[in-house]
Structure 1
């Protein structure tokens, strides 16, 4: 736990794209008194296509630069892919608390009554040994229908840029669930990528009210809260300023400004991190 009496602890939420905004929102709801920074490594987006060695090297490279520049008190790696691979390296490299994100299989297994659980993740997360171990540890008595999609990541990015996401596109991503013989009994769906909760409304519209969507947002926010000191108003301290950072200036970043403002990030800046690994 952070020992110093910070008036406004500085939290850095990191992802390759904008999916981590779903985690940031959960943290904002639970710990509103913090100074919040969001970093998207859009220069190397998406992480799901990288080899394990490339990804670990890239995350380490970005964190070296960003932590020195932003000086957060706590870091959240809001990416399942990065968390399952790079988290041990980052924790060994820095002294600040580091919180990772993993698929919410345990709470889904606790919630499900039918014992048929859907897992919607990126293709890399679906096949990763870490995910299989979570299923073995917490959902061994359940049927887990796993579907991998990279398309949903892009659709979430498009939605935040103000573009229309069609029902047909969402339905096409979910089609493998409908083809599974146990689909009629599925009562829980794990959104195992931080991008996917940004499309929760569209996904629920396709699956119906009988399927409950579960993600990691609230669990991560509770963990962040437990690592921070008790916050109390301090009239002598200026109100925190929240900011979003990107690693590459693009037209898409400009299109994201309205959405970032809705997430409480009115300011944006570019961190010019050399692309030695991408």
Structure 2
């Protein structure tokens, strides 16, 4: 039997599930392999050179193991660092990346005041500042890096309590007032953060539009999968193709009960 070539999704933790959820809507018959690089979580505090080396090595090993048709890097920190390097290292592989949604934010803002809520790594990237220069030069864009939100999101998904005051400390710098103008758009530039979006709305000092790029990423993935297709999509009625479940892989080898329950809820076996 011929195995159905999967779509490979990679993130440092469970944040990529926000994107995987949308991918399922767009590509319900594609097999998904979700690589959770929990051995290196969180990426945001890593120095650039060792993180880049780790990511290129990790992606290369996963390509060799799974022979995916497309690789989706579901992490702003990772893709803004090594997106171009991955394409250069693996020229025969199709990649889809995750970058801060600055362009749509610039189109939607009315006040001209935008904040990008990200990890410290994404905030530091020249890639991020280039996006601002190309797509939001007429806006005031505030970059806000949080050391803790990704870990808070993972704790939230495990059912652990996070105090409103602690969350507000992490997002407070996103809210800027300039005379009669106020920040009206906040870009969630880490795939973990949408899991906390409802909490953000509850504690925000005023209403803003929180941009979650997951649906746009899934749309782009669907376009790339269509052009990269080798076998027909679908785990049923495809002659000679062996159906396999969607799979999650932990790079640490550790699989705690809470994480396994979460992944099962997203239809992943581990």
1:272 corresponds to: none
1:243 aligns to 2:247 (yes or no): yes
* Equivalent residue in structure 1 for 2:24, among 28, 36, 40: 28
Residues 172, 98 of structure 1: CA spacing in aligned structure 2 closer, same or farther, 3 A cutoff?
Answer: same
1:171 aligns to 2:143 (yes or no): no
Matches within 5 A, 1:1-278: 9-94=5-90, 95-178=92-175, 180-182=176-178, 185-207=182-204, 210-229=207-226, 231=233, 234-236=236-238, 237=241, 239-250=243-254, 253-265=256-268, 267-268=269-270
Residues 51, 242 of structure 1: CA spacing in aligned structure 2 closer, same or farther, 3 A cutoff?
Answer: same
Question: Normalising by structure 1, what TM-score?
Answer: 0.86
SS of the residue 1:75 aligns to: strand
Distance across 2 between alignment mates of 1:213 and 1:240 = 36
Are the aligned partners of 1:15 and 1:39 in contact in 2 as well (CA < 8 Å)?
A: yes
Number of residue pairs matched by the alignment: 260
Distance across 2 between alignment mates of 1:129 and 1:81 = 12
Are the aligned partners of 1:103 and 1:215 in contact in 2 as well (CA < 8 Å)?
A: no
Q: What stretches of structure 2 of length at least 5 have no aligned partner?
A: 227-231
Distance across 2 between alignment mates of 1:234 and 1:154 = 38
Query: For each residue in 1:103-141, what CA deviation from the matched residue of structure 2 results, as whole angstroms up to 9, or x when unmatched?
Result: 000011111112111210112211321111111111111
Are the aligned partners of 2:35 and 2:248 in contact in 1 as well (CA < 8 Å)?
A: yes
Distance across 2 between alignment mates of 1:7 and 1:246 = 22
Distance across 1 between alignment mates of 2:250 and 2:234 = 31
Distance across 2 between alignment mates of 1:68 and 1:169 = 42
Q: What stretches of structure 1 of length at least 5 have no aligned partner?
A: 1-5, 269-278
Distance across 2 between alignment mates of 1:88 and 1:52 = 14
Query: For each residue in 1:42-82, what CA deviation from the matched residue of structure 2 results, as whole angstroms up to 9, or x when unmatched?
Result: 11112222222101110111112211112211100111111
Poorly superposed stretches of 4+, deviation over 6 Å? none
Query: For each residue in 1:189-228, what CA deviation from the matched residue of structure 2 results, as whole angstroms up to 9, or x when unmatched?
Result: 1001111111111111122773111122112111111112
